[in-house]
A and B are shown apart, each in its own frame.
Chain A
Amino acid sequence: MIALAWKSIRNRWPTALLAVLAIAMSVALILTVEKIRRDARNSFTQTISGTDLIIGARSGAVQLLLYSVFRIGNATNNISWESVDDIKKRAAIDWIIPISLGDSHASFRVLGTNLDYFSHYRYADKRSLELANGELFDDVFDAVIGSEVAAKLNYKVDDQIVVAHGTGKANLVVHDKQPFRVSGILKATGTPVDRAVHVSLEGIEAMHVDWQNGAAVKGEATRADTIRQMDLQPKAVTALLVGLKSRAMVFREQRAINTYRAEPLLAILPGVALSELWGLVSVAEIALFIVSICVVVAGLVNLISVLLAGLNERRREMAVLRSAGARPSHIFALLCIESTVLTLAGIVVGVVMHYVLIALGSLFMQEKFGLSIALAPPDGTDVKILFTIAVAGLIAGCVPALQAYRKSLSDGLSQRL
């Protein structure tokens, strides 16, 4: 029976191929959507840990989280250094990482910070950053680069790099008079840290010495040694990552900073902001998921229609089969096997397509959004989805099979055309 079904499919391969493709595409789509959703969440959740509060200029919690940690979007305002000093003095505060954003290097963000960043920043399961090569920055013109920056631009320790003002891709004004030296390269983390060029806060100030009101001052550039002698105390930073001595104090500190008089500031709990972000995103996720389910349904409807359309021209075949001793149940089984084979083929092809998509798409996602999408065997949810599709395909196949069964009973041996 299976051999018969297989030969029958092979004979109708163009339509069979289309049915398989329709199912394969829907399978690939639903798996990929699921995968990206899961990995995006993972990627976000893995990026920051161990930070109790993020402080920035007053804006939205999600916005602050996005620009300070994920480097998506830009800050609307800065925190003045006076406020930073004030916050530092608070008794509950254990450590503070200042972050200064706004410049870029070959489309990678430049992050101004201090050495506390390397000792206190944690990602994933409370892991700290480690150097793969070289050492942390020591001089004003030193830079520590993330693993991806090094890999993409092929940088080694002691290479000279030039930083541009602004974070876009075109028409950037280059701070080419004060080149930086790569002092160290970090190990890969799978977070936005990999795509950052870290310099000291003083370094950020140094590259803007010859700039006033956002434009380069004409004339001879200041020499690096001269700059090193200058007072490079930053006047403002973009955000602060804060660790508290005790987590119990987090809400009190948050309230204190949110009601800080001298400057409008905002303090957020990363976890709370993240779940707020999921709340926003979940609408889109659900919509995407519904669309993928619709595509799967369309694939199955297509399968039914392909089989049903073929059924009329196959009534003769059914009569021949019955004259040769096939029972109606054989005919039912024949069509069921055909639809099952098509569905399973569709699922297999779909899974392959999914992996190809992921393999190609992960590069793009990494580059564009910094989401690390890893190739992984299908997990429990995927298996459940595939199983559901297989069962749905089987049920869908019963529709034409039942039709053929009925026809083979009522047609008998007459070969109606």
Chain B
Amino acid sequence: MADAAAKIVDLDHVQYTWPGEANAVLNIPGFSINRGERVFLRGPSGSGKTTLLSLIAAVLSPQTGRIVVDDVDLGTLRGGQKDQFRVDRIGLVFQQFNLLPFLSVRDNILLPCRFSKNRRNEACRNGASLVEESDRLLQAMNLAPSDVNNKPVTSLSVGQQQRVAVARALIGRPPLIIADEPTSALDSDTQQAFIELLFNEVKAARSTLLFVSHDASLASTFDRRVDLPDINIITGSGTVPAVSK
């Protein structure tokens, strides 16, 4: 039990095949992430990284196998429960186009609070208002709230947009943060700074980070690096999932 509680993500013999395709894109005998861990998941393009994230985020359901996230067996969730589960427990950052162009920076950050009471309550736990919490996160992301809050989202640089997206993923302190190639649109100088900011706030929120990238050079600062081809045995090579430090 203690072991299970220590894991925030636990995959057991998970297989996923895209509808209409003959071969499985994912076949993962076992993969888990511990609470508070910062995991770097690497894999070449098309290796099923985003598919794996969609499975963990309960957007897709595997044909076989069991996925437990934050002590919830995703297989037991139905339609709307999955959406509620996702917004309650997971903060997501994408490669780019994270923000809704028709909302202000603040409304973008507060978007999860619209759909999740948990996130709303958690964001205000320290007695701060939602607006104050949103501004605090902006500041933590090295963005001046007075500056960006009044700007249209589209006038921010890509780096600024990505930091706003992190602020949104972090608001309400979800236990799991999933970042899907969040740095690939950034240049190498800002990449490292971005990751540092991300680390700091994930730590402050006591969340777990699953960071996906094809660029192994970023992996050094993470607690653990996982190569997707190593845990995904679709080629039939039968290799035992390798977990590297």
Residues of chain A having any CB pair with chain B under 8 Å: 4, 7-8, 10-12, 316-317, 319-330, 412-415
Known pairs A321-B100, A324-B87. 16 more at Cβ < 8 A?
Answer: A8-B100, A8-B102, A11-B101, A319-B94, A323-B94, A324-B92, A324-B111, A325-B84, A327-B83, A413-B54, A413-B92, A413-B180, A414-B50, A414-B54, A415-B94, A415-B95
Most B Cβ at <10 Å: residue of A320, A321, A412: A320
Residues of chain B having any CB pair with chain A under 8 Å: 50, 53-54, 57, 59-60, 79-80, 83-84, 86-88, 92, 94-103, 107, 111-112, 114-116, 168, 180
Contacts of A316 in B (CB 8 A): 97
Expressed in whole angstroms, the minimum distance between the Cβ of A12 and any Cβ of chain B is 7
Given A322-B83, A324-B112, A325-B84; A413-B100 close (CB under 8 Å): no
Which 4 A-B pairs give the minimum distances between C-beta atoms?
A325-B87, A11-B102, A325-B115, A412-B59
Contacts of B168 in A (CB 8 A): 324
Expressed in whole angstroms, the minimum distance between the Cβ of A1 and any Cβ of chain B is 9
Q: How distant is the Cα of A316 from the Cα of B83 in the complex, in angstroms?
A: 17
Q: Is the interface of A mostly helix, strand, loop or mixed?
A: helix
Contacts of A324 in B (CB 8 A): 87, 92, 111-112, 114-115, 168
Contact A413 B103 (CB under 8 A): no
Contact A325 B86 (CB under 8 A): yes
Expressed in whole angstroms, the minimum distance between the Cβ of B77 and any Cβ of chain A is 12
Specify the chain B residue showing the minimal Cβ separation from A414.
B50
Contacts of A329 in B (CB 8 A): 80
Expressed in whole angstroms, the minimum distance between the Cβ of B40 and any Cβ of chain A is 19
Q: How distant is the Cα of A128 from the Cα of B164 in the complex, in angstroms?
A: 79
Contact A320 B94 (CB under 8 A): yes
Q: How distant is the Cα of A317 from the Cα of B154 in the complex, in angstroms?
A: 13
Contacts of B83 in A (CB 8 A): 322, 325-328
Expressed in whole angstroms, the minimum distance between the Cβ of A333 and any Cβ of chain B is 12
Contact A322 B59 (CB under 8 A): yes
Contacts of B98 in A (CB 8 A): 320
Contacts of B111 in A (CB 8 A): 320-321, 324-325
Contacts of A4 in B (CB 8 A): 103, 114
Point out the residue from B57, B88, B112 that lies within 8 Å of A413, measured CB to CB. Answer: B57
Contacts of A413 in B (CB 8 A): 50, 53-54, 57, 59, 92, 94, 180
Contact A415 B97 (CB under 8 A): yes
List 15 interface pairs A-B (beta carbons < 8 Å), by A numbering. Answer: A7-B102, A8-B102, A12-B102, A319-B94, A320-B94, A320-B99, A323-B92, A323-B94, A324-B87, A325-B112, A325-B116, A327-B79, A327-B80, A328-B83, A413-B54
Q: How distant is the Cα of A320 from the Cα of B153 in the complex, in angstroms?
A: 14
Q: How distant is the Cα of A323 from the Cα of B114 in the complex, in angstroms?
A: 12
Q: How distant is the Cα of A1 from the Cα of B162 in the complex, in angstroms?
A: 25
Contacts of B79 in A (CB 8 A): 327
Contacts of B96 in A (CB 8 A): 415
Contacts of A10 in B (CB 8 A): 102
Contacts of A326 in B (CB 8 A): 83, 115
Expressed in whole angstroms, the minimum distance between the Cβ of A403 and any Cβ of chain B is 18
Contacts of A322 in B (CB 8 A): 59, 83
Specify the chain B residue showing the minimal Cβ separation from A410.
B19
Q: How distant is the Cα of A389 from the Cα of B115 in the complex, in angstroms?
A: 33
Expressed in whole angstroms, the minimum distance between the Cβ of A266 and any Cβ of chain B is 70
Specify the chain A residue showing the minimal Cβ separation from B57.
A413
Expressed in whole angstroms, the minimum distance between the Cβ of A152 and any Cβ of chain B is 54
Expressed in whole angstroms, the minimum distance between the Cβ of B69 and any Cβ of chain A is 14
Q: How distant is the Cα of A324 from the Cα of B101 in the complex, in angstroms?
A: 15
Specify the chain A residue showing the minimal Cβ separation from B101.
A11
Contacts of A8 in B (CB 8 A): 100, 102
